Amino acid sequence: MINKIKFNKLNEIRLIKSYNKEIKMAIHPIEFRYGTPEMKSIWEQANKHQRMLDIESALAQAEGELGIIPKEYADEIVKKAKIEYVTLERVNEIEAETKHDIASLSKGITEVCDGVAGEYVHFGATSNDIVDSSNSLLLKDSIEVLEEKIERLTKIILKLAEENKDKVCIGRTHGQHALPTTYGMKFAIWADELHRQYIRLLNAKDNVCVGMMDGAVGTTAALGEQGWEVHKRVSEILGLKPAPITNQVVQRDNHVEFIMVLANLATTLSKIALEIRNLQRTEIQEVGEYFDPEKQVGSSTMPHKMNPITAERICGVARIVKSYVVAAMENNPLWHERDLTNSSCERIMFPEACILSDYILNLTIKLMNNLTFYDENIERNLNQTNGLIMAERLMAELTRAGMGKQTAYAIARKNAIKANKEKLLLKDLILADEEASKFLSEKDVEAIMDPHTYIGSANNIVDEIIASSKDWF
């Protein structure tokens, strides 16, 4: 019986493998579910391959200019260091034998160079010169995609802030109704935070996108007396800032900073999505993400459901991005001048962190571009507590009218507790309060209890954020 089960299981596995091979079944959700074409194209194997060829090309060019290798040989290497000559397929074939990616790349270039030019490929360099410099190009391209989308999202949210600065709603602290605020305030806070993330990304870009051509321990010894000039010239050709000092690797604290910025950005996007999810709850339903009732299905069993799936996906994927911080930090302490423990980690971490960060940015743009407001519910929730949210204002106005602050607080609190317990209007209790009536008229109380007029400097604050945003990008 056991043998029969094993046979059937093996047969099942064979069938699955055969099916997968036939249709080239993808495994990782990034391959078929998550990510945008613009970011994926940066990290696809062919582009990574070309970026490494670009480094070999820049090295040959710099060495030719400085007379380290013959100029005509350098020109030939530059000409042939392109994917149409050095194919990914051929380099993979070589690597299957050599078990070394950069040695295989170097041999692939050598094979297609005319004459003896190929003898000078990769002269004076170590593998990580190619890896780290090409990663810098990939990260630079990725950051530029992220920059554009952060800017786009921020402008969408700023527009929402301006359009909704007079839309008064209940503010909540500890999940409880607190005081009136505005949707303009909510959105302006998010826009301001996104701008800070943008600045952090620019700073990280300056630190992480550096070039290096420094040899096995960072001394440029194999390149001779002109080694440091080669290092600087290679970076210049590539459009990168030269690393000021390295050992065999660019120091990973820079990469930690970059991943931390992505993680921090993910917290902001998650915060926005979480708020939308909460505000879309049935018992609140003030805003919600767009739902196409003609095509979209909320549940396979509950026909009425309209779930915040976009916002939930943002929150879920954000967790993955945030988790990379630990891996990035572990990559900084390496043995001596370097070991290889960072390499395998970064092959996974860099593309996934960039692709997923870009993906949830894209989702948040979609979410905020298509928000639905439920104005009746916003007003209902604002008045849900029978005026309890105006207790602070009552205290303040009693104090301004001449009552001591502590006494005013006690009166407001006493009546608020009674109103809450007995489901009464706070306004009615205050009007009936002998002490309070000595300081406030009925007209005063009517004005005080209007939540739409208790938003302090909210409009001015939003206006200042919108005005300052003109210099953000």
- Residues marked active site are found at 174, 299
Task: Sort residue 311 into left (φ over 0), alpha (ψ -120 to 50) or beta.
Answer: alpha
Separation of alpha carbons 4 and 348, rounded Å: 40
Alpha helix positions (H), 178-219:
183-208
DSSP label at 223?
Answer: G
DSSP label at 452?
Answer: G
E strands in 138-199: 168-173, 176-182
Separation of alpha carbons 105 and 87, rounded Å: 9
What lies within 8 Å, CB to CB, of 413 at 6+ separation is 391
Q: Sign of torsion, CA 92 97 102 103?
A: negative
Compute the 3-state secondary structure of the chain and give helix, strand, coil in percent, each to the nearest 5.
70, 5, 25
- How is residue 447 written in tokens? 């004005």
Report in angstroms the alpha-carbon separations of 342 from 86, 138, 331, 416.
27, 17, 5, 60
Q: Return the closest-CA partner of residue 353 out of 319, 395, 390, 311.
A: 319
Separation of alpha carbons 338 and 217, rounded Å: 8
- How is residue 468 written in tokens? 């300052």
Q: What's the 3-state SS for 3-27?
A: HHHHHHHHHHHHHHHHHHHHHCCCC
Q: Return the closest-CA partner of residue 416 out of 398, 443, 389.
A: 389
Alpha helix positions (H), 280-403:
309-330, 341-369, 375-382, 391-400
Alpha helix positions (H), 240-285:
253-279
